[in-house]
Amino acid sequence: MRSTLVRKTLKGAAERKLENPDFLVIRFFLAFLEGDREGMQREVNLARGRPGAEDLLAHHQALVLAYSGHIHRAEMLWQRAVELTQQTGNREKAAMYESSAAVCWAFFGNGTAARRHALAALKLANGRDVEYGAALALELSGESSYAQALAHDLEERFPEDTSVQFSYLPTLRALFALDQSDHQRALEQLQPAIPYDEALPGTGFFAKFGSLYTAYVRGEAYLAAQRGPEAAAEFRKILEHPSLVLADPAGAIAQWRLGKALALSGDRAKARSTYLSFLTSWKDADADVPILKQAKTEYDRLR
């Protein structure tokens, strides 16, 4: 129903000869959700050579590639997106692409690449969403002190910003608590975020990371607390909202984490099935992605 309404709106805009890069991205992700590779490529082709559009589509292409584990091909597209954007002098936009890449690499377990992109982002700009992405990537990559400094800066600079106060900071503070093996504190930090779990974060449509991260980290906290059913509910929340998550890296690995939660719950049959679904979706993924190796090891233990 929603996709029909969106298509109708886009058609009306086309009839009035209204066009902007956002329309290309919307059509690109509609095709992504429908598994329409030709439709996705059509939007990429339309963006080629168009300032403000080609870089945006290159970035979203990178996210989609990373979503299925093709992170090295994604890396080349991120480099292209950053180069195109810097040619126009838009440092903030280029920094957002770097932050998004950092978050993807961090979720997939490559701390070196995540730190490289995070630091590159911060050299370009220090906007709200750039700092959040960099802080998240740095924390997931073991650079907690730097991430905490960035979180403090966000708190000081944006005391009344809804995304910062009810999404970004709760997510970061929960990760800081988990880094100290304090799962109860992590859950407490995420409590204020519950009404905003399904809200589109500030990074949302443009950079496309941050959707349902509060649910993701809450799931990780429940895993740390050995509370499998509660963890499973959080990861299912992500999987049940594909039109919100789109190609977000958290969505890419939610099924893997759900498998771990089901195994912890004692449902080995469902856990095996869930792991297998993830591994099947990543059957052509880059073999050196750390989380893929980890998922295969965990699956083998259940067989």
**184-216, pLDDT tens digit by residue?**
999 999 999 999 999 988 876 667 889 999 999
The structure tokens 């000081």 sit at 156
Burial of 169 (0-12, 13-18, 19+ CB in 10 A): buried
Q: Tell me, what's the pLDDT at 208?
A: 83
**Amino acid type, 285:** A
Confidence of residue 18 (pLDDT cuts 50, 70, 90): very low
Pairwise CA distance, residues 7 & 281, whole Å: 28
Pairwise CA distance, residues 251 & 281, whole Å: 12
Helix (H) or strand (E) holding 245: helix 242-245
Confidence of residue 21 (pLDDT cuts 50, 70, 90): confident
Burial of 80 (0-12, 13-18, 19+ CB in 10 A): middle
Domains of the chain in start order, with CATH, are 48-302 (1.25.40.10)
Contacts of 107 (CB under 8 A, 6+ apart): 140, 249, 250, 252, 253, 291
Q: Is the pLDDT of residue 289 over 70?
A: yes
At 121-165, the pLDDT tens digits run 999 999 999 999 999 999 999 999 999 999 999 999 999 999 999
Pairwise CA distance, residues 128 & 150, whole Å: 10
Confidence of residue 167 (pLDDT cuts 50, 70, 90): very high
| CA 14 to chain CA mean position, Å | 30
Q: Tell me, what's the pLDDT at 15?
A: 44
Q: What is the mean pLDDT of residues 252-258?
A: 97
